[in-house]
């Protein structure tokens, strides 16, 4: 983990990442396309984020996020499992105490100092994929290992336990499809257009408020304009440079 102090916050900002509040950790394998924003989010290992996406607050681990995604407050993405077929589900049996709580140093004699030699890992990282233009409401929980396709909407407080189709609106616990944002023919044309490859400045003159007109325009002009392809920034490489 990289410890983000005030000077490093300024470096992140200069490279296109908003990460609010200094003196917090950020996974050093995190990578992003600028610009995007993590705000007050806890970021564990195995995460990436595309341009024009943001999350207000919450937790993320082992997730690939595309472009133009919007996440509300307290969103939980990719919380990993505990071993359910072992003696106990508790990580105190297979992780050193200091990795779980800072008070472990006071009780060294009763906590593990080193991980035990065990024949298999207690859990394996399950990767979560969230594609482009996904909107996730406040307090939603997205289970590890699911894929949320482009254009989907997840209602506030929902618990997503299975894959979400493109442009579906889902809600509930467990989340179920409420309806689709557009007709199937429109969805297919939007996915084919790959409009998220372009910047807000490029799109602003197109009729994005009228889907059918927008599809007509982008199909006419996309061959003549350059897709936005910024260099991805890796946290570890950024702070080593």
* Catalytic site positions: 82
Distances in Å between the alpha carbon of 198 and those of 52, 53, 92, 137, 202? Answer: 10, 13, 47, 24, 6
In sequence order, what DSSP letters do the residues of 120-183 get, joined into one string?
S-S--PPPEEE-SS-EE-TT-EE-TT-EE-TT-EE-TT-EE-S-B-TTEEEEETTEEEEEESS-
Count Cβ atoms within 10 A of the Cβ of residue 182 and give its class: 0-12 exposed, 13-18 middle, 19 or more buried. Answer: middle
162-173 burial, b if ≥16 CB within 10 A, otherwise e?
eebebbbbbbee
**Angle in degrees, 0-180, between the axes of helices 184-193 and 211-221, rounded to the nearest 10:** 30
* Cα angle 81, 114, 85; round to 5: 30
Distances in Å between the alpha carbon of 187 and those of 79, 180, 190, 209? Answer: 30, 9, 5, 15
């Amino acid at each position: 983990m990289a410890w983000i102090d005030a000077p490093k916050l300024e470096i992140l900002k200069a490279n296109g990442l908003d990460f609010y509040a200094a003196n917090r950790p950020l996974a050093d394998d995190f990578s992003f396309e600028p610009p995007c924003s993590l705000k007050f989010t806890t970021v564990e290992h195995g995460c990436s984020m595309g341009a024009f996406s943001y999350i207000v607050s919450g937790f993320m681990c082992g997730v690939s996020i595309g472009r133009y995604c919007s996440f509300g407050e307290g969103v939980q993405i990719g919380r990993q499992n505990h071993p359910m077929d072992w003696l106990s589900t508790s990580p105190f049996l297979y992780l050193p105490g200091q990795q779980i709580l800072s008070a472990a140093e006071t009780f060294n004699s009763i906590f593990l100092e080193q991980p035990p030699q065990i024949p298999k890992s207690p859990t394996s990282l399950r990767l979560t994929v969230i594609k482009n233009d996904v909107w996730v409401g406040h307090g939603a929980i997205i289970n590890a290992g699911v894929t949320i396709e482009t254009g989907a909407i997840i209602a506030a407080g929902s618990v997503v336990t299975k894959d979400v189709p493109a442009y579906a609106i889902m809600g509930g616990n467990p989340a179920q499809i409420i309806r689709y944002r557009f007709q199937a023919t429109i969805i297919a044309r939007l996915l084919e257009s790959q409009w998220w490859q372009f910047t807000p400045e490029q799109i602003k003159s197109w009729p994005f408020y009228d889907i059918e007109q927008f599809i007509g325009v982008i199909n006419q002009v996309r061959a003549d304009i350059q897709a936005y392809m910024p260099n991805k920034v890796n946290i570890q490489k950024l702070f080593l440079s």
